[in-house]
Amino acid sequence: MTTSLERAANISGKVRIGILGCAKIARRSMAPAIKQLADRFELVAVASRDAATADAFADEFACEAVTGYESLVARSDIDALYVPLPTGIHAHWIGQAIAAGKHVYAEKSFASNLTQSADLVNAAKLASVALMEGYMFLYHRQQTVVADCLREGAIGEMRHFHASFGFPPLPADDFRFDEVLGGGALLDAAGYPLRAVSHFLGPGLQVQAATLRRSAAGTSLWGSAFLANNHGVGASIAFGFDNFYQCRCEFWGSKGKLTAERAFTPGPGFKPRLLLETEGNVIEQLVDADNHFVGALNEFAHAISDAECRHRHYDQILVQSRALGRIRELADIATVKAAGP
């Protein structure tokens, strides 16, 4: 067994990582992926505000249980933290982690607004620590196959990109409906198609119009947005918590259309389907199964070790946060105008 003294010295050379919170995604997906990458990561500990919850998680994944987030952040034998906490408390805990010199992989959305994101990115730059926002789908081989198709001209010149991610109603007591915790479809479901826009079309697109439907309590339930650049290419996204299930990206070109199904949530054993439609022809391709959680962790390790990669993720966090804020701003303006005098 590795001693605390050996861990403090980091003799193994692995990234020693802790998990800040026992969220479902941490237990179901991220902790198994960390254990799978035993050559790059060592899962040291998991923290919960409840001792029994931490103990159960730790027993399952052969790591230490810690009661209280503060205790985990303060540990000297941890290099990085995975943060699956609700968005509304990210600014505090990511800030604490940065102050303690920890690299941070945080679930989306990274922060509640652009001001928080910018403050955290600036602090991370000063501390020379990596930050990464948890859009794992970007590291599935499906995205590579799509990019290859586009680069090879399978649909001709790009004319429009559309992405949608929405699902049936969540339980009424789900934390995603709690505005204080950063709830709402905008900071949750919208992030996926929005991140896909900048991934495939570049960061230069600007949000031109947006809509949001809110609950009586003010929580965003569903919405849409239109983005455009200076080259005549537009993009639209649609998202929601109260929708017929959609999880796809559509690339419409001068000669054809490419559709990527299950674009955001393909499980490790699932083979997502691509459809290429051209004049009088439809080609279907099943992409090999892949674990995008493993891919994302490999990218995180790269960001930790490589300054250029680290700064690329700083920029991506800010582009994403700025666009989400603009959607909120334009949607609020549209709502006021619709209400009239």
The DSSP annotation for 234-301 comes to EEEEEEESSSS-EEEEEEEESSEEEEEET-S---TT---EEEEEETTEEEEEEPPP--HHHHHHHHHH
Classify strands 234-240 and 158-166 as parallel, antiparallel or unpaired. Answer: parallel
- 76, 101, 134: which is the final residue of a domain? 134
248 assigned to some structural domain: yes
- 134, 152, 168: which is the final residue of a domain? 134
CATH at 179: 3.30.360.10
Based on the fold, state whether residues 154 and 276 are members of the same structural domain: yes
The pTM of this model reads 0.93
- Could you tell me the sign of the dihedral formed by the alpha carbons of 263, 31, 294, 83, in that order? positive
Domains identified in the chain, total number: 2
Per-residue pLDDT of the chain (341 residues; tens, 9 = 90+): 333 344 345 656 899 999 999 999 999 999 999 999 999 999 999 999 999 999 999 999 999 999 999 999 999 999 999 999 999 999 999 999 999 999 999 999 999 999 999 999 999 999 999 999 999 999 999 999 999 999 999 999 999 999 999 999 888 888 888 877 888 999 999 999 999 999 999 988 999 999 999 998 889 999 999 999 877 889 999 999 989 999 999 999 999 999 999 999 999 999 999 999 999 999 999 999 999 999 999 999 999 999 999 999 999 999 999 999 999 999 998 775 565 55
Domain residues for the domain of 102 are 4-134
Based on the fold, state whether residues 34 and 8 are members of the same structural domain: yes
CB atoms inside a 10 Å sphere around CB 245: 10
Based on the fold, state whether residues 99 and 180 are members of the same structural domain: no
The contacts of residue 148 (CB under 8 Å, 6+ apart) are none
Based on the fold, state whether residues 229 and 172 are members of the same structural domain: yes
Q: Look up residue 34 and give its amino acid.
A: I
102 assigned to some structural domain: yes
Based on the fold, state whether residues 84 and 154 are members of the same structural domain: no
313 and 105 Cβ atoms separated by less than 8 Å:
no
Joined together, the tokens standing for residue 242 give 């109260």
Q: Cα–Cα distance between 241 and 222 in angstroms, integer? A: 6
Based on the fold, state whether residues 14 and 144 are members of the same structural domain: no
CATH at 49: 3.40.50.720
Residues tagged active-site:
108
- 103, 134, 165: which is the final residue of a domain? 134
